[in-house]
Amino acid sequence: MRKFFPVEDLARDERFNKITMKDRLGDPRSVFTIGEPGDAKKAKFRLTPERRDASDGARGLMHGIFVGEIQALEGAGRTCWDFETDVEAPFALKLDMARQCWDEARHVEISVKLSEWMGTEIGQYAENTVLFEAACSTDPVLRLAGVNRALEGLAIDVFTTMKEFGDMAGDPYLEFCEDWMLADEVTHVKMGSDWLRKVTEKDPERRKKALEFQGVVDKLFSYGGTRSESDESPIGLARRFRELAGFTDDEVETINELSLQALEERKTAVVKLRDADQFAQAAAGE
């Protein structure tokens, strides 16, 4: 069986449409049409039942969770196989990745059922494959940093937002299922935190590299301010659960700052684009 599987070769049937981060970054549209960078008046996009498009927003996010679970399963599975036991990766690390595969497989099934409950078909939304891309590193420690700490960390934020949504809307299934999956995600992040410290205990350079990679993935997933403590972001930052997963206060604060910075950058880009568009329209009118 081949090692280091490229993202382009992931098996998907005709229901799925894969897109890359490049496609997403190439979309010039933005939801930020009201507030401008630094404005006191800020639009609220946090996913709560009060939002007019709450049901569709929750459906879209749930589908994102579903495809994320598939890729997390594929990523953890690759880590079990791609590295030589006790030479490149300890046996116990692989055992944790095997346990994670079992968790992710259950999460996929739960997500399918939840999607049906919410009226979403499999493949109804485009699948961003960036999670698996982060799982393609040739260093298992970088995978743990990028996937288990950055992306599973994001999953903690997403599940917390969805759990709160289910609770507020009175949806018993959504609230219950998200709570169970959230508990698993905290464990996955904790595994990543523990193994990162253990494997790089005597290799500070490798640890530094892994944490830098985690920062890159965190920034990438904060693109457009999708996740931050600001109400302008659809997804909040789940500080308490991140602490339980082994993040230090400083690390959580860094992610928060990174997310807010990404939000402001996106708003600045939108204003620039809008100004350029208005300039082009004015020029065409002349």
Q: Does 13 bind another protein (CB under 8 A)?
A: no
CB closer to another protein, 49 vs 90:
49
Q: H-helix or E-strand containing 19?
A: strand 18-19
Q: Which of 7, 179, 193, 189 is nearest to 100 (CA)?
A: 189
Least distance (Å) from another protein to the CB of residue 282? 16
Q: Residue 242's closest CA among 230, 231, 232, 229? A: 229
Among 56, 86, 201, 257, binds another protein (CB under 8 A): 56
For another protein, give the closer residue by CB, 21 or 105.
21
- Does 184 interact with another protein (rule: CB under 8 A)? no
Provide the minimum distance between the beta carbon of 142 and another protein in the complex, in angstroms, as a whole number. 29
42 Cβ contact partners less than 8 Å away, ≥ 6 residues apart: 34, 35, 230, 231, 232
Any contact of residue 285 with another protein (CB under 8 A)? no
Please answer whether residues 53 and 95 qualify as being in contact, where contact means their C-beta atoms are separated by less than 8 angstroms.
no
Q: Indicate whether 42 belongs to the interface with another protein (CB under 8 A).
A: no
Q: Which of 44, 106, 207, 274 is the binder for another protein (CB under 8 A)?
A: 274
Q: Which of residues 125-144 bind another protein (CB under 8 A)?
A: 125-126
Write down the least CB distance from residue 125 to another protein, Å.
5
Q: What are the residues whose beta carbons fall under 8 Å from the beta carbon of 175, sequence distance 6 or more? A: 163, 166, 167
Considering beta carbons, is residue 6 or 28 the nearer one to another protein? 28
Does residue 107 contact residue 184 with C-beta atoms inside 8 Å? yes
Distance, C-alpha 44 to centroid of its chain? 20
**Range in contact with another protein (rule: CB under 8 A) among 68-76, 81-89, 136-144, 166-174:** 166-174
Give yes or no for residue 22 binding another protein (CB under 8 A): no
Phi, then psi, of 172 in degrees rounded to 5: -65, -35
- Residue with token string 């490149």: 88
Read out DSSP for 138-201?
Answer: SSHHHHIIIIIIIIHHHHHHHHHHHHHHHHHHT-HHHHHHHHHHHHHHHHHHHHHHHHHHHHTT
Site membership for another protein, residue 59 (CB under 8 A): yes
> Under rule CB under 8 A, which residues in 104-123 are in contact with another protein?
116-121, 123
Q: Which residues bind another protein (CB under 8 A)?
A: 17, 19, 23-24, 27-31, 33, 49-50, 52-56, 58-60, 116-121, 123-126, 169-172, 273-274, 277
